[in-house]
Structure 1
Amino acid sequence: MQNNIMSGDFFQHLAIAFEKSSSVNILSPYLTMPAVEFLFKHLPVGVDVKLIVRARPQDILSGAVDINAINVLHESGVKCFFHRTLHGKFYQINENEGYIGSANFTSNGLCLNGYGNLELTHKVTLTSEDKLLIASVFDDSLFVTSQIIKKILEYSKNNKMNVIQSFPSWWGDIIPNVNYIPIKDGIYVGDLPWCNLLYENEDKDIAHDKDVFLYGQSFEKMRCEFLQSKVYHYFCAMINHREYKEMYFGELTESLQNGLKDDSIPYRKDIKGYVINLLSYFERLVPDIVCIDRPNYSQRVSLKNLRAIK
């Protein structure tokens, strides 16, 4: 019986799959040049390839997403996309064959040099629902153009990861939350802060916020990530719908609860906990943008600068 779970030899299975492919879709938060060279080495001429990577400023500037590799792919006719919240790693070969697991499309992820990360990947046969889901991820992603690549290349030349001082003002314009309409699309519990920045937190909550908000990293990196988050944009959209551009604690709790799209909605007391966490993020990360005060015994949240609303 064939073993469908792969570890250090995944790149060998992938090489064979590429060589027999007529179409390839890759979803990988990270991307490096050795993986691009591996793709071109094993891919037949004329195969349609689409690839999604994550596009956060720190991903680009740290080299986790090599913008030069994106440029090479783009110039070679590979359709590249950015998705700001991508975390899953998935490889679709032709219509029905897929590989899902923990391996990024990088040298370390695939162990291309004989060493790398310990990854596990599972081979699957795709259902029609699986294929629709993958298609929806592409629909929700930003197609990368030459102009976008040029602007990011210029930015990355002039900046270093350790000297980022603030969120690049143009980044949200060229790499938005594509097709995300906050009030219409709502929000999920996974988009909310699970940690309170003013107190100690449990390990599972820290793990979540490390992934979503870069919890525990520098102020600049966390602020940058938070300003890109869905919960921040959802909050701004809710504020924008208020006559006086402010919300009290109870109104914020109700709005979040009404906007949740999870199959199972948490109890109101749990929603209040998420709101308290969100207020701690406002207080610590964006005190220059969000004002929190307490008139009439209830916390009130408003924006100091209405231009922060987009």
Structure 2
Amino acid sequence: MIFMNSLKTTGCNNEVLIFQGIGDRLKDFAQKSESSIHLFAPYITYAGLKHVLHGNNMNINISIFTTWTENDISYGSSDPEIYPLIRSNGGRLFLIENLHLKGLLNDLRSFFLTTANITKNGLSLQGEGNLECATIVEPLSPLSLLEFYKLIGSAIPVNDAMYEDAKAIQRQTNEGPSGQDFFKTSLKTEYLVSKLPCTNTPDILISRLSDIRDSKLDFNEVELINIYHDAALFGLRINNSRLENLNILKAHFIKQPFVSLYEKSLRERPRFFGETKAWIHAKCTDDPTPHRRELTDRIKNLFSWFSLLYPESYRVSQPNYSQMLEYIDKG
């Protein structure tokens, strides 16, 4: 069977379907990144990932998303050794349950969409490999970016303990897989700093979402990332009215596990700013644990969100030099 190198299609600026050299085209696409790479694939092997990341800018943020299961690791479809490879490149590895998406999100602007997994056969790194195709979608719409951030927000970060568990399964392949999803059974509730708001206030978030809906994109990339992060985290919609999104925030913010845990501590007694920073640092399950100085902006946001979303229940005061957040006991 003979395949053309490319076919015209619609919905993408470049209007090309790629059938040949997908591995090299994906690597070239990744090398164009200036700030961030988000790579998605259910099956990723060491050789496949090394090829994609070869020659990449070491100063960009790299996030890899995949699905490790005991069966996949036992049969070699998934390779635990991608974890140290990613860490050596300054990146992070995440797991997403039921992930089937394959592709690379580049600088939040364009997406290399492919049918290929990040393996030797998928990328045709040896011989002909699998019959796959790909295309580049650019620019991405705001609605598409929001869906990506919902996906990213559902991801579980891989840590050293999970890597060691995966290697142990890899060593026991002669016994055959049991079919158990060992990550599901071993994971505890995650209290991640990334589950706290990035935007300064709820009103800024809601206003900026309205601006995005109206194509008023007059803010920088960092602010845009923060907006999409919080909108995905708390279930906001770009096409909602401001009141609809405000009501969603009021309902969902307090239900985030980390926020809820902190709120319970507020009901015990007021919390000063520095005390809250120490509390968040001690309770977070991030690996590695962030430095306290990295938490300053998140704590400022946390104080603002509590007092502005629920002014009848929480207030910020400054009795001395430090701000204090307290629960208003109506009883």
1:129 to 143, 147, 152: 143
Shift of the 178–136 alpha-carbon distance from structure 1 to 2, 3 Å rule, reads: farther
Equivalent residue, structure 2, for 1:16: 28
Equivalent residue, structure 2, for 1:40: 53
Residue-by-residue CA offset, 1:38-94 (whole Å, 9 max, x unaligned) = 133231221211110112111111111100122321343211101121111121111
1:1-310 aligned within 5 A:
2-22=14-34, 23-125=36-138, 126-157=140-171, 159-160=172-173, 163-165=176-178, 167=180, 170-174=182-186
Greater C-alpha radius of gyration: 2
Amino acid at match of 1:52: F
CA distance in 1, matches of 2:123, 2:117: 7
Residue-by-residue CA offset, 1:237-293 (whole Å, 9 max, x unaligned) = xxxxxxxxxxxxxxxxxxxxxxxxxxxxxxxxxxxxxxxxxxxxxxxxxxxxxxxxx
CA distance in 1, matches of 2:179, 2:33: 43
Flag as ranges the 4+ runs of structure 1 deviating above 3 A: 174-179
| Secondary structure at the counterpart of residue 121 of structure 2 | helix
Structure 1 length-normalised TM: 0.52
Tell me, yes or no, if the aligned pair for 1:82 and 1:175 is still in contact at 8 Å.
no
Tell me, yes or no, if the aligned pair for 1:141 and 1:178 is still in contact at 8 Å.
no
TM-superposed CA distance for 1:5, in Å, is 0.7
| Secondary structure at the counterpart of residue 107 of structure 1 | coil
Aligned-residue CA RMSD (Å): 2.5
Residue-by-residue CA offset, 1:147-171 (whole Å, 9 max, x unaligned) = 21112212322x2166234636x54
Structure 2 length-normalised TM: 0.49
Q: How many residue pairs align between the two structures?
A: 177
CA distance in 1, matches of 2:105, 2:189: 24
CA distance in 2, matches of 1:70, 1:17: 22
TM-superposed CA distance for 1:138, in Å, is 1.3
CA distance in 1, matches of 2:38, 2:109: 11
CA distance in 1, matches of 2:60, 2:76: 27
CA distance in 1, matches of 2:130, 2:184: 32
Shift of the 97–147 alpha-carbon distance from structure 1 to 2, 3 Å rule, reads: same
| Secondary structure at the counterpart of residue 180 of structure 2 | coil
CA distance in 1, matches of 2:190, 2:161: 17
Residue-by-residue CA offset, 1:92-125 (whole Å, 9 max, x unaligned) = 1112111213111111111122421101112112
Amino acid at match of 2:159: T
Structure 2 unaligned spans of 5+: 1-7, 9-13, 192-331
Amino acid at match of 2:186: I
| Secondary structure at the counterpart of residue 108 of structure 1 | coil
